[in-house]
Amino acid sequence: MKKSQLIFTQYSPLLAVDVGITGIDGEKIAAPRVCSLCRCGASKNKPFCDGTHSQIGFTGQRDNSEKAEPERYQGKNITIIYDRFMCMGDGHCGELEAVFGTHDEPKYEPDAASADKIIETIKKCPSGALSYSLNDEQQANFFSHTQIIVEENGPYHCHGDINLIDDQNSDSLLPKGDHYTLCRCGASKKKPFCDGSHLDIGFEG
Ligand code: SF4
Ligand code: FES
């Protein structure tokens, strides 16, 4: 199969080309080779676009493009790398509180748990905000299978080798790695990326 692609403008849905779509339960969602995915949050045929974005005046303009350099927290055996811009704040990392702290009081303590435990936790970070380096080599490719997973009431999880092409150079903001999360509720301030706003607006779909 040719390389998978997501192509869109500020005014369009996501055009997915040559990429499998899967539900959060792992069930494949039948889709043609080229399909439009809703990102305004209002389609009645989610995850697919039904044209509603043009009726509600949706634009996918990004409010916030200020991306700082990823932060690095060096420990004895592992360096934690945190790309703050990409974080969607879902709190998976807080499961290892000694290292990552809590949602309200985050911290980054690479020596507060074994490297294996830290790696296990980092691999659960859906947005790609977290990665790590061992012996000065950044490890950020965690998925062998290329697919888009549709999270119920949440974002698109893009895994594997999926090119992102749009009119706001969003690919330049992507973290180093093979996964990222895209907004499908329409409320993110960091479109096309998810920033956790789906929780604030009680998105359902
Ligand atoms: S997106 Fe990653 S870094 Fe942000 S809260 Fe979730 S697990 Fe932590
Ligand atoms: S799905 Fe829109 S901000 Fe997460």
pLDDT in tens, 117-145: 999 999 999 999 999 999 999 999 999 99
Cβ–ligand 1 contact at 89 (below 6 Å): yes
Considering the domain architecture, whether residues 56 and 149 belong to the same structural domain is answered as yes
The values of phi and psi at residue 46, to 5°, are: -60, 145
Cα 200 to ligand 2 centre (Å)? 9
Considering the domain architecture, whether residues 8 and 28 belong to the same structural domain is answered as yes
State the pLDDT at residue 64.
87
Domain that holds residue 125: 71-139
Considering the domain architecture, whether residues 150 and 182 belong to the same structural domain is answered as yes
Tell me if the pTM is above 0.75. Answer: yes
- How many domains in the chain? 2
Considering the domain architecture, whether residues 25 and 126 belong to the same structural domain is answered as no
Residue that is last in its domain, among 90, 113, 139: 139
State the pLDDT at residue 123.
96
Considering the domain architecture, whether residues 93 and 149 belong to the same structural domain is answered as no
Q: Is residue 205 in a domain?
A: no
Please identify, by atom number, the ligand 2 atom nearest to the C-alpha of residue 185: 2
Considering the domain architecture, whether residues 153 and 184 belong to the same structural domain is answered as yes
Considering the domain architecture, whether residues 131 and 148 belong to the same structural domain is answered as no
CA distance 95 to 12: 37
Considering the domain architecture, whether residues 36 and 129 belong to the same structural domain is answered as no
The confidence band for 2, taking pLDDT boundaries of 50, 70 and 90, is low
Q: Is residue 125 in a domain?
A: yes
Cβ–ligand 2 contact at 185 (below 6 Å): yes
Cα 129 to ligand 1 centre (Å)? 6
Ligand 2 atom 4: residue of nearest CA: 194
Considering the domain architecture, whether residues 92 and 186 belong to the same structural domain is answered as no
Q: What is the pLDDT of residues 153-204, one digit of tens each?
A: 999 999 999 999 999 999 999 999 999 999 999 999 999 999 999 999 999 9
By the 8 A CB rule, do 105 and 94 touch?
no
The b/e string for 98-114 (b: 16+ C-beta within 10 A; e otherwise) is: ebbbeeeeeebbbebbe
Cβ–ligand 2 contact at 157 (below 6 Å): no
Considering the domain architecture, whether residues 14 and 52 belong to the same structural domain is answered as yes
Cβ–ligand 1 contact at 91 (below 6 Å): yes
Considering the domain architecture, whether residues 14 and 112 belong to the same structural domain is answered as no
State the pLDDT at residue 130.
97
CA distance 141 to 128: 9
Cβ–ligand 1 contact at 106 (below 6 Å): no
Ligand whose nearest atom lies closest to the CA of 195: 2
Ligand 1 atom 4: residue of nearest CA: 87
The domain spanning residue 130 has which CATH number?
A: 3.30.70.20
CA distance 111 to 133: 14
